[in-house]
Amino acid sequence: MDARVRLGAVGITAVMALAACGGGSTGSGSGDGGGDGKKLIIATDLPLQGASKDASQSTNNAIKLYLKQIGYKAGKYTIELKEYDNSTAAKGAWDDATCAKNAADHVANADEVAVMGTYNSGCAKIIVPVLNADPNGPMLMVSHANTNPGLTKAWDAGEPEKYFPTGKRNYARTVTTDDYQGAAAAQFAQEKLGVKKVYILNDNQTYGQGVGKAFETEAKKLGMTVLGNEPWDAKQTSYASLFTKIKALSPDMVYMAGIYDNNGGQVVKDKVSVLGDNSGVKLMGPDGLTGYPELQKLPQGQGMYLSFGGLPIGQLKAQGGAAAKLLNDYKAEYGTAPAASYALYGVSAVQVILAAIEKSDGTRKGVNDAVFTGDGITIPAEKSAIGAEIKIDPASGDLVAKDVAILVLKDQTETFLQAQPVK
């Protein structure tokens, strides 16, 4: 999930200076004092306003429930949760300046040792370098939802090195990256839907461009004709002329690479208005369009295919074990199921953080080293919030498993269709 941003060395220095002015840690070190059952703070950094609000609130709720169940403990440490909002009411989505301010605030909060987030990869690309440059760190960040490959591997120019100015990694994630998700979606489109000609639209943000690029690369490799790959302008009130142009090319499918926040509902409506419903010219999108009740209820969205870089709630529950128990407990606690599968992936990211804290001396550096040195962190399947082993590669920070699920919007619900192995 995400959006296009760049934060160079000057930006990092400025934000670190802001952290210092904001009462950041002094000579004794953040989260330091290593060991005598002290309280440590972990944070979530999510968009709590706008279209992503429901998914983010579900994620925070699931994490709070999980922490309550384990007695707010990680080894000998007592854990406290602090929630950060990286969105603004005016934008209705994550915001560059707010992400930068949050980065400074994380560093300045002396007892905070790790961050769970972000939801959007573009926001992560602002925060990660600041946490990395923390003189008392690097400070660990584990995401449940960032799928842009460039955060951990070579993708765009200078990636991923520019996010790690110290030369040490401090970013991990518990979801599959877009290079795999985009490829799996293209393979499904050809093998199961018989797509021969596809038009790609992207939301002109980091996430949409990245997953669109991955889909395009694989589609061409498979012999599909890619009729175009262009951005949609989120500020437009109508995309009828765009789809009229696309209609003239006779596509079998439109691949909509982006997040729902970026006027995705109008794109979906106008696709159906001009190209017909999804039983004819297919509409497919990535996980940036999952977890939105507004899309699920949209009449024009019915029949739309979606991919998800993991497993959806229904499959997590069907697997039984810790994932099913957590889902049942969530419903008992809050009266409803989580709004998005990302809620359990948020807990999985917190499990990685807590395991790192338990292995550490309680300092930011110690917590980060627990993930990126030695064997790293592994959460066994029987304890995992996502019902499968969570193993973080200490060399990259990526999840070793590469799960991609294909869903279809049916009866106003994201319905699991099949697992799609990445070839």
Tens digit of each residue's pLDDT (9 = 90 or more) over 216-267: 999 999 999 999 999 999 999 999 999 999 999 999 999 999 999 999 999 9
pLDDT score recorded for residue 24: 33
Does residue 280 surpass a pLDDT of 50?
yes
pLDDT score recorded for residue 33: 36
With a CB cutoff of 8 Å and minimum separation 6, the contacts of 254 are: 198, 199, 200, 201, 246, 271, 275, 281, 282, 283, 284
Helix boundaries (H) for 222-263: 240-247
Does residue 2 surpass a pLDDT of 60?
no
Global pTM value: 0.85
Q: Return the CATH fold of 179-308+404-419.
A: Rossmann fold (3.40.50)
DSSP 341: T
Residues 323-327, mean pLDDT to the nearest whole number: 95
pLDDT score recorded for residue 313: 86
Of the candidates 331, 314, 330, 311, the residue with the CA atom closest to the CA atom of residue 381? 311
Residue at token pair 């996010």? 163
| Residue ranges of the chain that CATH labels 3.40.50.2300 | 9-176+323-391, 179-308+404-419
d(CA 399, CA 378): 10
pLDDT score recorded for residue 318: 85
Q: Is 190 left (phi over 0), alpha (psi -120 to 50) or beta?
A: alpha
Does residue 155 surpass a pLDDT of 50?
yes
Residues 341-369, mean pLDDT to the nearest whole number: 97
Q: Select the more confidently predicted residue: 423 or 82.
A: 82
Of the candidates 168, 106, 130, the residue with the CA atom closest to the CA atom of residue 14? 130
Does residue 31 surpass a pLDDT of 60?
no
d(CA 317, CA 278): 28
pLDDT score recorded for residue 150: 95
Q: Select the more confidently predicted residue: 284 or 206.
A: 284
Confidence of residue 320 (pLDDT cuts 50, 70, 90): confident
The beta strand positions in 86-196, using DSSP E, are: 87-88, 93-94, 112-117, 140-143, 171-173
Alpha-carbon separation of residue 144 from 118, 119, 193, 237 (angstroms): 7, 7, 30, 32
> What are the beta bridge partners of residue 282?
253
- Helix-, strand-, coil-residue percentages of the chain, each rounded to 5: 40, 20, 40
Round the average pLDDT of the chain to a whole number and report it: 91
Residue at token pair 């991923």? 160
Alpha-carbon separation of residue 92 from 132, 249, 261, 269, 302 (angstroms): 28, 34, 8, 20, 25
Q: Does domain 9-176+323-391 have CATH number 3.40.430.10?
A: no
Tens of pLDDT, residue by residue over 94-117, are 999 999 999 999 999 999 999 999
Does residue 4 surpass a pLDDT of 70?
no
pLDDT score recorded for residue 376: 96
Confidence of residue 316 (pLDDT cuts 50, 70, 90): confident
Does residue 23 surpass a pLDDT of 50?
no
Does residue 3 surpass a pLDDT of 80?
no
pLDDT score recorded for residue 36: 56
Lowest mean pLDDT, pick from 15-19, 59-63, 309-313, 400-404: 15-19
d(CA 222, CA 38): 55
Dihedral, 97, 100, 102, 107 alpha carbons, nearest 10: -160
Does residue 66 surpass a pLDDT of 50?
yes
How close are the terminal C-alpha atoms of the chain, in Å? 22
Confidence of residue 421 (pLDDT cuts 50, 70, 90): confident
**Percent of the chain at pLDDT above 90?**
85
pLDDT score recorded for residue 192: 97
Confidence of residue 5 (pLDDT cuts 50, 70, 90): very low
pLDDT score recorded for residue 22: 35
Does residue 151 surpass a pLDDT of 90?
yes
Residues 170-180, mean pLDDT to the nearest whole number: 96
pLDDT score recorded for residue 279: 95
Confidence of residue 9 (pLDDT cuts 50, 70, 90): very low
pLDDT score recorded for residue 268: 98
Alpha-carbon separation of residue 239 from 236, 246, 251 (angstroms): 7, 11, 16
